[in-house]
Chain A
Amino acid sequence: MTNPQMVMYEEEFTQIQAIVTRLVKEANARVVFVIDKNGQEIAKAGEVEQLDTTSLASLTAGNIAATGGMAKLLRENEFTTQFHEGERANIHIQIVGNRVILVVIFDSKTSLGLVRLRVKKASEELNSIFEALLTKVSDPNREAPFAEITDDDIDNLFND
């Protein structure tokens, strides 16, 4: 079988980015990001410049994968929410529509209750965007962003 691609188009990206940016404000969070289950970063907002979000994304995906493995052993479908409490920073991790992961990093300026409440609403919105995106990606007549690239282009990348 072939491995399906995930393509993020401008329209959906803008919508996702808007939700993530709004969630930072509404939840009074430090950082919010959305990643896919393989650890690829999709969107982020907040105080991201001080954070290694690439590493965080990969570790979060690993964490979700490990927790999912534990869930299976317990005959659970999935543990959809995780919360890690630190001295200064806390992380709230939510699986959205079994597809992507919504991560909120926050401190004592807000509360877990508020974060949960805002995450719930944002999750629902994100879920419908990703559903629409999936339909778009599986449409055979869709715009194929990588199709114009030739074998020579790929060869050139490795000729040094």
Chain B
Amino acid sequence: MSFINVLSREINCKIVYYGPGLCGKTTNLQYIYNKTNPDAKGKMISLATETERTLFFDFLPLALGEIRGFKTRFHLYTVPGQVFYDASRKLILKGVDGVVFVADSQIARTEANLESLENLRTNLAEQAYSLDKLPYVVQYNKRDMPNVAPVEELRALLNPNGVPDFEAVASTGVGVFETLKAVAKLVLTEVKRQAG
């Protein structure tokens, strides 16, 4: 749920990075954090286990500039990818304005990608959201790994509706900002559509 403050002319939106365990959701946020001007970002928070697996969420507040005097602020969240943290994932999706599905391109993770995408649809539906109506983009991450599935194959499996999608290597930053910009743009367009 976007939040517009008329007095301070700010618009705040929530974007959630979703995907199977170890697909690189946190790595996306870390790259964004490392490459963003200190004025434009707040502290990145990671609620992780001792082995650096996401336990609850990562959070990164980010300012993307002004539109006609409106400061645009995005709150980026990741969910814990591991299957048994489903209760936490549901909580983080509350009030979401846009979703990035981070897929792991490795052939061995095909099943995990599909399971996570199905889980995303189910959890959104529980809150009466539909992935088909929400600002949504897909990222095919880990393109630098051996044994990755061809993008066409991933697209056919994970993106049958043809939403904007991007190849990425989050650890080196390839595709990270392209993905973020695409979802942010869709979110702002939706906010404008609702306001109009």
Chain A contacts to B: CB under 8 angstroms: 1-10, 13-14, 36-40, 42, 52, 54-55, 58-59, 62, 65-66, 68-69, 143-149, 151, 153-158
Contact = CB atoms under 8 A, between A and B. Distances in A.
Nearest to A146: B195
Interface in B72-116: 72, 75, 87-88, 90-92, 94-97
B6 A7 contact: yes
Classify chain B's interface size.
35 or more
Given A153-B67, A158-B185, A59 B45 contact: yes
Interface of B: 1-7, 11-12, 14, 42-43, 45, 47, 56-57, 59, 61, 64-68, 70, 72, 75, 87-88, 90-92, 94-97, 128-130, 133-134, 181, 184-185, 188-192, 194-196
A132 B42 CA distance: 32
B91 A1 contact: no
Contacts of B61: 54-55, 58
Contacts, number: 138
Contact of A146 (B4, B75, B184): B4
A66 B95 CA distance: 15
The 10 closest A-B pairs by CB, nearest first: A38-B95, A146-B195, A65-B91, A40-B3, A144-B195, A147-B195, A147-B196, A8-B5, A54-B42, A10-B7
B48 to A, nearest CB: 13
A57 B98 CA distance: 20
Contact of B1 (A5, A68, A154, A155): A5
